[in-house]
Amino acid sequence: MTHNETVIPERPAPRLTVGPLAWLRANLFSGPVNSLFTLLGLYLLYLLLTPAIQWALIDADWIGTSRDDCSREGACWVFVNARLGQFVYGLYPGGEIWRINLMFATFAALLAWLAIPRLPFKRWVAPVTLVAFPVFAYVLLYGGHFGLPVVETHRWGGLSLTLILATVGMVAALPIGIVLALGRRSQMPIVRSVCVVFIEFWRGVPLITILFMASVMLPLFLPTGMTIDRLVRALIGITLFQSAYMAEVVRGGLQAIPRGQEEAAAALGMGYWQRMGLIVLPQALKMMIPGIVNTFISLFKDTTLVMIIGLFDLLGIVQAALSDSRWLGFAVEGYVFAALMFWIFCFSMSRYSQYLEKKLHTGHKR
């Protein structure tokens, strides 16, 4: 008896199990209920997207200088175009805008240096960013030295003010947050309770009441005759608020470090600050980075509240432009523009934080 050695030729897989058709069947039309949901979803998408695209792109006016150029049914982007300078730089004098640009270009370069893993000398760039750069930025923006004319803070505004508020609030809050978090984990009961009360107080009240307090009560706390700038008052409020949230992020990072690390360091004869500064915090900081980015995103969105105490951040200046009698009736365009700006910043930061989370997680995967 001989075996039949011929191999049956491979046949293609059934048509409905591979390719785009199979994907459609598995993901969109796997059953009657699912098919119904898909159709409903498509209809909803159609209802939302067609008028939106029609309004924002097809029927929109793009070019022009005044509202007379907005003759068509759709959006009037001419309004945003005409006001773009104000939306970005506030009322900063036109001839001095290079100072803001230079400041942000330097900042972006420093940040990029820190964010791209391959570049060397991070050990030196980080302290320059945290210590030397703020001084440089202040001198550049406020002026008064090196022949730069003074630009009062009430002329600052727009997107640049939003970025300044968020960044300064964050950078100032981080060291306070670290100290508070260490205090909250301390063995000393009084230190611990002072830190807990401080953190829970600022976390328990809305930012808006803190800003009210900073603008109304802070002048009362100072010696008579002494006044501080409105922007600085807002910054103090934001920093106090943010430091409490930062403390909780830092505490989470510290809790993730096994106790053995600190005990091993103590066994080597290290003191408290050596243990914290050389062993615990460097490890904890790595774990905290996604949390820090997330609190930065919420702070970035919360800076819009400063318009309630009379500062013109991006939303504040858009709101002010909407009440300009030459450009009445373009509220939707203004809000859509502001929303898009905020969205781009927040979304890209949250994607970066997710990327970091994935990247930093690899060390702990089992």
Partner 1 sequence: MSVRPQARPSGPKPPFWRDRAKRALLFQAVLIAGVAAFLLYIIGNTQDNLAARGITTGFGFLTNTAGFGIVQSLIDYSSQSTYARTFIVGLLNTLLVSALGVLAATIIGFTVGIARLSPNWLIARLASGYIEIFRNIPLLLQIFFWYFAVLQALPSPRQSHAFGETLFLNVRGLYLPEPQFLSGFGLIPGAFVVAIVASIALVIWNRRRHDATGKRLPAGWLSACLIVGLPLAVLVITGVPVTWEMPELTGFNFRGGITVIPEFLALWLALSIYTASFIAEIVRSGIQAIPHGQTEAAQALSLPQGLVLRLVIIPQALRVIIPPLTSQYLNLIKNSSLATAIGYPDLVSVFAGTTLNQTGQAIEVIAMTMAVYLTISLLVSLFMNWFNARVALVER
CB 152 within 8 A of CB 80: no
Identity of the residue numbered 52: A
* Nearest distance from C-beta of residue 247 to partner 1, angstroms: 15
Q: Does 194 bind partner 1 (CB under 8 A)?
A: yes
Of 66, 209, 255, 274, the residue at the interface with partner 1 (CB under 8 A) is 209
Nearer to partner 1 among residue 86 and residue 162 (C-beta):
162
Q: Which CB, 27 or 101, lies closer to partner 1?
A: 27
Nearer to partner 1, 151 or 307 (CB): 307
Q: Give the N- to C-terminal CA distance of the chain in Å, as an integer.
A: 55
Nearest-angstrom CA–CA distance, 163 and 259: 38
Q: Does 176 bind partner 1 (CB under 8 A)?
A: no
Question: What number of chain residues touch partner 1 (CB under 8 A)?
Answer: 54
Q: Which is nearer to partner 1, 22 or 110 (CB)?
A: 22
Nearest to 311 by CA among 233, 239, 242, 231: 231
Given a contact cutoff of 8 angstroms between Cβ atoms, the answer to whether 163 and 304 are in contact is no
Quote the CA–CA distance of 162 and 158 in Å, as a whole number. 7
Q: Which is nearer to partner 1, 124 or 272 (CB)?
A: 272
Is residue 216 within 8 A of residue 309, CB to CB? The reply is no
Nearest distance from residue 303's CB to partner 1, in Å?
8
Q: Which residues sit opposite 61 in a β-bridge?
A: 76
Tell the smallest beta-carbon distance from residue 278 to partner 1 (Å): 20
CA distances from 50 to 44, 45, 54, 73, 138 (A): 10, 8, 6, 14, 47
The first and second tokens of residue 330, run together, are 């373009």
Q: Which is nearer to partner 1, 41 or 127 (CB)?
A: 41
Instruction: Output the smallest distance, CB 219 to partner 1, in A.
Output: 7
Residues 24-43 binding partner 1 (CB under 8 A) are: 27-28, 30, 34, 37-38, 41-42
Query: For 76, which DSSP code?
Result: B
Residue closer to partner 1 (CB basis): 205 or 256: 205
Q: Is 46 in the site for partner 1 (CB under 8 A)?
A: no
DSSP characters for 183-215? Answer: HHT-S-HHHHHHHHHHHHHHHHS-HHHHHHHHH
Across-strand partners of 313?
A: 158
Q: Cβ 72 to partner 1, closest distance in Å?
A: 18
The residues binding partner 1 (CB under 8 A) are 27-28, 30, 34, 37-38, 41-42, 44-45, 187-191, 194, 201, 203-209, 212-213, 216-217, 219-224, 297, 301-302, 304-305, 307-308, 315, 319, 322, 331-332, 335, 338-339, 342-343, 346-347, 350
